[in-house]
Structure 1
Amino acid sequence: MQIDFTGRRVLVTGSTAGIGFAAARGFLAAGAAVVINGRSEASVGAALARLGGPNASLAGFAGDLGTEAGCARLTAEHPGFDVVINNIGVYGPQDFFDVPDSEWERYFQTNVMSGVRLARAYAPRMVDQGWGRIVFVSSESAINIPTDMIHYGFTKTSQLAISRGLAKRLAGTGVTVNAVLPGPTLSEGVAELLEGDAGRKGVSVEQAATDFVAAHRSSSILRRAATVDEVANMILYVSSEQASATTGAALRVDGGVVDSIV
């Protein structure tokens, strides 16, 4: 199978690090013209440098897509994409009784409404051209709601509802809409969270991640954290021409954490 995005314009939100960065790198390698996104000029500039610098196939957009204004500015500067990867998100453990309304709203606007706004803006042109891909990067937490991140889990479940409903709304248009559900993934952000524990135990961050999976995701079949590239591979596939018969799906890259055969 040869996945080729030559001639396709791709947006990956939240792509200055982690899964988003790995996906952007993969799209570039497959011939796409890619726009990456981060909240600050500094983070976008650093990511562009890591990817080879701005050129005809690579550009950056600095802005908070968790706001209506940020999304409006993006769509004004970049009116059309063939592939939209809704990856921007915030997460963090916090007890249900300590989460104020403002945090629920921040999580909802960033994790959910960013994707809603961008899909609403970019899907019509995809429909007009008879081809397009919209992918929501959800999480296994959409199914296994974590007790210490209920506010996060609810946003990830919301993404599944939106992706499935939008796929049905766009039935027969040539535009597919899917969700990808990573499990524990050793991104830069997760590595930073684990560094302290790894140092105290005198083990590598990778081993600390494996220990975390064993302790907190004991149903994992993989028995380790996934790499960002392993998750990005699924994002690239479901965005490709080869995945033309896959739509309305929730595709798990969770290492078997969700104990289900469907």
Structure 2
Amino acid sequence: MSALPRTVLVTGSTSGIGEAIVEAFARDGHRVAVNGRDEERTGAATDRIRAALGVVPGEVFPAPGDVSTAEGTDAVKSAVPDVDVLVNNVGIYLAAPAFEISDDEWRRLFEVNLLSGVRLTRYYTPRMVEHGWGRVVFVSSESSVFTPREMIHYGMTKAAQLAVSRGFAMAVAGTGVTVNCVLPGPTLTPGAKEFIANTYDGMTFEEAEREFFVSYRPTSLIQRFSRPAEVANLVHYVGSDASSATTGAALRVDGGAIPTIIP
């Protein structure tokens, strides 16, 4: 357990990587806010996590609100006025031919994947500076530096997170607050499971996984989907006291999918 219990907000945490991040911090004794757009789904995820971990209400609690909008962000700020650790995890991805991505789709991914984190970082980080300690983590992607041709709008938002994270890190230099990006590779989230099922109809999951990594991610060194808990392990470290000398960084948990040593 860390030296002090912290208040942690994980956006987009009703499933997948976000849910695993909530569980990692809650296991470590922290007070963690679960966030989703829908109040009912957010509450259900909170109950599920509490039951899985055996934590009492209050250690894991709901903070619903669509952080891709100013109104939804205000709702989250009301539920969680101050945080010590902000994990900007919320994100969506869509596959589409490069020349068929509409203006609305470009805007939607920008609002959800990038501007949501900017809004929350702009609000919470000055309060962290006042306290002399804080952690901001952007959950980016290997697509930020190795953009798939079928998801260039997604890759754009994830690349922008690297610039935003580094810029905020420089803005709080020397304050005890750190800002970093974590770059997962292909991860077995509900969305990935749905994609596999739709793309490889009639195959077993094992067969489909092998085919996916041959066709879509041949550079992966682990040749499998990472599990959400494996990504959460790195996010938990970056959000801890132990990571005090790590800031302004892009940290990979991509299974070796990016074919370079340094992002």
User: What TM-score, normalized to structure 2?
Assistant: 0.94
Give matches, 1:25-64, under 5 Å. 25-52=23-50, 55-64=57-66
Q: How far does residue 210 in structure 1 lie from its aligned partner after superposition?
A: 3.5
Aligned residue in 1 for 2:152: 150
Paired AA for residue 245 in structure 2: A
Instruction: Spell out, residue by residue over 1:95-151, the C-alpha distance to the aligned partner (whole angstroms, 9 max, x if none).
Output: 222221111111111100100000000001100110000000000000011111111
**How many pairs were matched up?**
258
CA distance in 1, matches of 2:164, 2:197: 35
Deviation larger for 41-50 or 140-149 = 41-50
CA 1:188–1:146 in 2, change beyond 3 Å: closer, same or farther? same
Give matches, 1:129-140, under 5 Å. 129-140=131-142
Q: Indicate yes or no: 2:82 matched with 1:84.
A: no
Q: How far does residue 198 in structure 1 lie from its aligned partner after superposition?
A: 5.0
Instruction: Spell out, residue by residue over 1:61-91, the C-alpha distance to the aligned partner (whole angstroms, 9 max, x if none).
Output: 2221100111122113321000000000110
Q: How far does residue 42 in structure 1 lie from its aligned partner after superposition?
A: 2.2
Which structure 2 residue ranges, 5 or more long, are not aligned?
none
Identity %: 47
Q: How far does residue 218 in structure 1 lie from its aligned partner after superposition?
A: 0.7
Instruction: Spell out, residue by residue over 1:185-225, the C-alpha distance to the aligned partner (whole angstroms, 9 max, x if none).
Output: 11121112212445512x1x244223312221111111111
Give matches, 1:1-262, under 5 Å. 3-4=1-2, 6-52=4-50, 55-197=57-199, 199-201=201-203, 203=204, 205-262=205-262
CA distance in 2, matches of 1:207, 1:62: 38
Which structure 1 residue ranges, 5 or more long, are not aligned?
none
Instruction: Spell out, residue by residue over 1:140-180, the C-alpha distance to the aligned partner (whole angstroms, 9 max, x if none).
Output: 00001111111110000000000011111110000000000
CA 1:174–1:121 in 2, change beyond 3 Å: closer, same or farther? same
DSSP-derived class of the 2:194 partner: helix
CA distance in 1, matches of 2:250, 2:37: 27
DSSP-derived class of the 1:251 partner: strand
Deviation larger for 146-155 or 68-77 = 68-77
Judge conservation of contact 1:5–1:27 (CA < 8 Å) in 2: no
Judge conservation of contact 2:11–2:34 (CA < 8 Å) in 1: yes
- Once superposed, what is the RMSD of the aligned Cα atoms? 1.4
Deviation larger for 120-129 or 64-73 = 64-73
CA 1:50–1:161 in 2, change beyond 3 Å: closer, same or farther? same
CA distance in 2, matches of 1:84, 1:156: 17
DSSP-derived class of the 2:181 partner: strand
Judge conservation of contact 1:184–1:213 (CA < 8 Å) in 2: no
Q: How far does residue 6 in structure 1 lie from its aligned partner after superposition?
A: 4.5
Judge conservation of contact 2:141–2:183 (CA < 8 Å) in 1: yes
DSSP-derived class of the 1:62 partner: coil
Paired AA for residue 211 in structure 1: E
User: What TM-score, normalized to structure 1?
Assistant: 0.94
Judge conservation of contact 1:187–1:228 (CA < 8 Å) in 2: yes
